[in-house]
Structure 1
Amino acid sequence: MTTSERHMTTSDTYTGTGDAEVATAAARAGADVVRGMYGRRLARIDKGAGDFATEADVAAEKAILDVIRAARPDDTVLGEEGGRRGAADAARQWMVDPLCGTLNYAVGNMLVAVNVALRDGAAAVADPFSGEVFHTDGTSARVRHGEAERAEGAEGADALLVPSSDTRLVDVNLDPPFPGAPGFRGVDLLAHPGFVARFRPRVVSTTLALAWVAAGRRAAYVTDGGDLSESVHFAAGIALCRAAGCVVTGVDGAPLGRAGRGLVAAADAETHGLLMSMIDGR
């Protein structure tokens, strides 16, 4: 039995036919591949400008596609590695980032995420190494713990995500390019006196940090960029944050979309306001 088949038939991972369960099963299938290939010498696929994919990215995307195709054969899928599969004008499109944090993964760092999102709908972010899957049906956001914790009857195996700024930890994406420079660069935010006084920076270099904002493990996440509202990298994390009740805008404070740029996802309005004042008032 393949990884994708196991996730489509095992009752504790795929309990229905709803989109949230499809997203969760698909993300978990990809995470199984990522975890299984960890530590191997993997061939790299050059994407230019210092970016690359590995065999694990490609294999994880295939496992995710197998799950989505089995459950939603008429839907289109936009994958980070394989591009679009299906009609460009399809009413339903899944966005798949099979391994967010490829550079982390390639050097033996376990801070990675598997992202699966239905545009304007359900989404899931899987942590291959903790076994957690953060998921949403578009209304509420929850976390499903790993198989070992569930087997032990852990409390809150499918617990509601509750954002909180109590950690004061803010993840800032410092990966180039910096399309907002010189107007905005994450490194400028880290040097802002107000930021230093209020927050502590973290650089996880994966959108797993967005799931952590939704879960109360980070106060906020900030990244530069263009329109990220339909990005395969960010779609699942944005969906989680919105469903959990976070404040989500561009770095210019505008709603996400074609007119916006970058991303600020904050646990609450106060944290969002503080960060925006620092970004605007450099």
Structure 2
Amino acid sequence: MALRLSPHMTVMANAAQKAARRLLRDFNEVEQLQVSIKGPSDFVSQADLRAEATLREELARARPGYAMLMEEGGAEGSDNWSWRWIVDPLDGTTNFLHGIPHWAISIGLERRLPDGGSEIAAGLVYAPAADEMFWAERGAGAFVNDKRLRVSARRELKDAVLATGIPFAAVAPPRRLAFARTLGQLMPLVAGIRRFGAASLDLAWVAAGRYDGFWELGLKPWDISAGLLIVREAGGYATDPAGGDPRASGDVVAGNPHIHPKLCEMVSDGQDAAARAG
């Protein structure tokens, strides 16, 4: 990237690029990977584990005092951390294992605040197969490679293309019902709905204006931490359906300033319908 990166972002970009080189080799030989099943429709491969080990090593060497929260390895480091890496070494594992070139490395950097809360200070989502690195730092804007990002300007749902994540086998019935209600309401109203299978990239694509909005329920911190900041720094909104911070619940609605409130209303209605049915 031609832009001059901050020290934190340089660390993140270097770590992601090093892990990506091995992931691309594994992707070209995907039929030879050993795969384990964590749960229904939830897989982990040698590629995930090797990429996470590379990221852990690179990030720890550059910032040895920082804690980590990693998808496969869990929490590491002091509970009283001031800075913490939040890492998904391979978002879109199912795509990866099926030879679909839509997957990413996601790295978020979380900072502890004086009041005991925290904020995402920097985020990076790297799609090695496309060689697209989406990145942002708080207050400094969002970029893909060296190009500034801006969310779309579409105002009406009838013109909007949305992204979502379709619940799979392990998802509890209330969340499946909430999704079905929201999807049923939105389908007749929008230009299209896409499901590409990597939440970090869905958020990055909202930031890039490729999608006008995105929603998904029950995501994990490593799925969304980087992407939330990238959307916000590109001029969009990324909240839970009620307008709060989605990091606690994992329920995310993202979009440009015109589409976001309309999408929040639809997703909230779906959740309410599921609650009444339960």
TM range (shorter): 0.7 to 0.9
**Could you say which residue in structure 2 is the equivalent of 1:21?**
10
Shift of 1:17: 5.7
1:175 aligns with 2:131: no
Aligned length: 252
Shift of 1:78: 1.5
**Could you say which residue in structure 2 is the equivalent of 1:67?**
58
Q: Secondary structure at the match of 2:38?
A: strand
Shift of 1:202: 0.1
Residue identity matched to 2:260: H
1:223 aligns with 2:216: yes
Shift of 1:57: 0.5
Shift of 1:71: 1.4
**Could you say which residue in structure 2 is the equivalent of 1:236?**
226
How far, CA to CA, are the matches of 2:59 and 2:226 in structure 1? Answer: 15
How far, CA to CA, are the matches of 1:51 and 1:203 in structure 2? Answer: 17
The answer to whether the 8 A contact 1:162-1:215 is kept is yes
How far, CA to CA, are the matches of 2:67 and 2:223 in structure 1? Answer: 17
Q: Secondary structure at the match of 2:90?
A: strand
**Could you say which residue in structure 2 is the equivalent of 1:187?**
180
The percent identity for this pair of structures is: 27
1:4-19 superposed matches below 5 A = 18-19=7-8
The answer to whether the 8 A contact 2:161-2:190 is kept is no
The answer to whether the 8 A contact 1:252-1:261 is kept is no
Question: Structure 2 vs 1, CA of residues 39 and 183 (structure 1 numbering), >3 Å: closer, same or farther?
Answer: closer
The answer to whether the 8 A contact 1:13-1:25 is kept is no
**Could you say which residue in structure 1 is the equivalent of 2:128?**
128
How far, CA to CA, are the matches of 2:160 and 2:72 in structure 1? Answer: 35
How far, CA to CA, are the matches of 1:129 and 1:182 in structure 2? Answer: 32
Q: Secondary structure at the match of 1:35?
A: helix
Residues 76-101 of structure 1: per-residue CA shift (max 9 Å, x gap)? 12111122232222111101100001
How far, CA to CA, are the matches of 2:90 and 2:79 in structure 1? Answer: 23
Residues 216-265 of structure 1: per-residue CA shift (max 9 Å, x gap)? 11111100127x5xx1111111121122121111123333353x550001
1:254 aligns with 2:244: yes
How far, CA to CA, are the matches of 1:172 and 1:128 in structure 2? Answer: 22
**Could you say which residue in structure 2 is the equivalent of 1:5?**
none
Q: Secondary structure at the match of 1:88?
A: coil
**Could you say which residue in structure 1 is the equivalent of 2:188?**
196
How far, CA to CA, are the matches of 2:202 and 2:103 in structure 1? Answer: 9
The answer to whether the 8 A contact 1:14-1:25 is kept is no
Residue identity matched to 1:233: D
Structure 2 residue ranges without an equivalent (≥5): 111-119, 271-278
Higher helix residue share = 2
Residue identity matched to 1:124: L
Residues 18-62 of structure 1: per-residue CA shift (max 9 Å, x gap)? 212222222222222221210322101221233121011111112
The answer to whether the 8 A contact 1:77-1:84 is kept is yes
State the superposition RMSD in angstroms: 2.4
After TM superposition, the score normalised by the length of structure 2 is 0.82
Equivalent of 1:160 in 148, 151, 154: 148
